[in-house]
Amino acid sequence: MTKLGIQMQGMDNEIALLAAGPFGKKINPPTEDPFPNTRTIIRVYMDDNASNDLIRQGAAGGRAWADFVAPYMRPWVHAVETWNEPSGEFLFQVAGRKQLTEATLGYLEIAHARGWRSVVGNFSVGQPPLDAWHTFLPFIQVMQPGDLLGVHEYGWPTMLKDTESRDGILEGWLCLRYRKAIRILSDLGYCPQIFIGECGLDRLLVNPIPGGWQEMPHPGNLEERRQEYWNQLCWYDDRLAEDEQVVGAVPFTAAPSSPWDTYIIDKQLATWMHDRP
């Protein structure tokens, strides 16, 4: 069964009804469940500067994050993400990694007490550095059943770029990077379930101007690009099916806002995802 689900920035009821994967994801969720036919993961937007300030507060910042998302924890919410794509000091500096770990632990203490499922980490494409997983082990150790480890994976100009075989298993530095995390964490004795909260094609990997599948350098017209993108998503979905730890993945994004228009999961792509075995 496909592990691909629908992610939405805005709201498109027609596409939401096509969600058939294990999970849908909604940014800034409405009052009513946007995905009545599947489980819903939510992300509540906070400006990066404000989010980073909370992380720097360690455990106190994590507790503040729990208070921030609390108004959105409606009965239909399956799980809520913590801060989106922590970067810079929180990935590459010892003190920053410690702050992120302590903030996540502070958040999880409240989340578990309130009975919430959570998606922690939510690391950007190509992150975190592989040696950081040892630092983040304390919050992975306290994850409860239902909690998920979040990562984002993109490629450009193809999702197959920068993959390599390791002992007969295909891994990647961008897409399929999660397999490196599985290997490292398994060696340490931990096997958290993984949710890929964003994936697809992203020109930002090589260019400061956003661009999704509609901006692919080839093939020539929109229909051909859509088909090629779908072929790559199917390839990715087939790899996900090989890993029981991966519970779902949501390509970025349906109902996009500017400047993410060219990343759109349109009705045709959503229909193909719905109809995929």
Tell whether the model's pLDDT for residue 219 goes beyond 90: no
CB atoms within 10 A of CB 7: 26
CB atoms within 10 A of CB 224: 12
Q: Quick: pLDDT tens for 231-269.
A: 999 999 999 999 999 999 999 999 999 999 999 999 999
Give the distance, in angstroms, between the CA of residue 50 and the centroid of all CA atoms in the same chain.
Answer: 20
Q: Quick: pLDDT tens for 114-151.
A: 999 999 999 999 999 999 999 999 999 999 999 999 99
Percent of the residues in the chain that have a pLDDT greater than 70, as a whole number: 100
Percent of the residues in the chain that have a pLDDT greater than 90, as a whole number: 96
Position 162 scores a pLDDT of 87
Q: Work out the mean pLDDT of the chain and round it to a whole number.
A: 97
Tell whether the model's pLDDT for residue 227 goes beyond 90: yes
Relative to beta strand 169-172, strand 194-201 is unpaired
**273 by DSSP, 3-state: which?**
helix
CATH number for the domain formed by residue range(s) 7-275: 3.20.20
β-bridge partners, 200: 154
Peptide bond into 30 cis (omega under 30): no
CB-count burial class (<10 Å; 0-12, 13-18, 19+) for 128:
buried
Lowest-pLDDT choice from 146-155, 201-210, 214-223: 214-223
Tell whether the model's pLDDT for residue 277 goes beyond 90: no
pLDDT band at 275 (very low <50, low <70, confident <90, very high): very high
Q: Quick: pLDDT tens for 65-85.
A: 999 999 999 999 999 999 999
Question: Nearest to residue 274, comparing CAs of 45, 63, 15, 93?
Answer: 15
CB-count burial class (<10 Å; 0-12, 13-18, 19+) for 109:
middle
CB-count burial class (<10 Å; 0-12, 13-18, 19+) for 135:
middle
Position 220 scores a pLDDT of 87
Tell me the whole-structure pTM to 2 decimals.
0.97
